[in-house]
Amino acid sequence: MEKYLVVHGPNLNLLGMREPGIYGTMTLQQINEILLAEAAKHNVKLDILQSNNEGEIIDFLHGNRDVDGIIINPAAYSHYSIAIHDAIKAVAIPTVEVHLSNIHSREEFRAKSVTASVCIGQISGFGYYSYILGLYALIQHNRS
């Protein structure tokens, strides 16, 4: 059975109440439940972390190098965290960066992602479905 990590970055624990016009009304728990159900249909196990702390995200990536893929929403860290960039690069595991909103149509600073360059792809703008598309992308990448 394939095993993937799912990493939710800072402030995503407030989904459902945080700027619903941008991030939607689903809670993080609801997103995780949908993602777990979809993964099970494809015989994929998920280990999920949400953290508001850069170091905890890095430690999670470093401590789980025996996985087949990573789905990461670095949230605000995607725009400036060289440390998360380096951690993704160091573990050398196929990684898909996802975002709920279309980061390229928002404030100028959000359009740049320093973490995307070490990922196999980036998906943004489809709400919770960005995570599902990230899962499909990893499955396709690993099974082709």
For residue range 92-116, list pLDDT tens digits in order: 999 999 999 888 877 776 768 999 9
Kindly indicate the confidence band of residue 23, based on its pLDDT and cuts at 50, 70 and 90. confident
Sheet with 2-8, side-by-side order of all strands: 44-50, 2-8, 69-73, 95-99, 121-124
- Burial degree of 88 (CB within 10 A; 0-12, 13-18, 19+): buried
For residue range 44-56, list pLDDT tens digits in order: 999 999 999 999 9
Q: Is 143 annotated as a binding residue?
A: no
Q: Is 47 annotated as a binding residue?
A: no
- Residues marked as catalytic: 23, 99
Model-level pTM greater than 0.85?
yes
- Which one-letter DSSP state was computed for residue 89? H
Q: Distance between CA atoms of 122 and 142, rounded to whole angstroms?
A: 16
What Cα–Cα distance (Å) separates residue 34 from each residue in 42, 76, 117, 135? 13, 23, 28, 11
Q: What CATH superfamily classification does 1-26+57-101 receive?
A: Dehydroquinase, class II (3.40.50.9100)
pLDDT at residue 21 is higher than 90: no
Q: Is 86 annotated as a binding residue?
A: yes
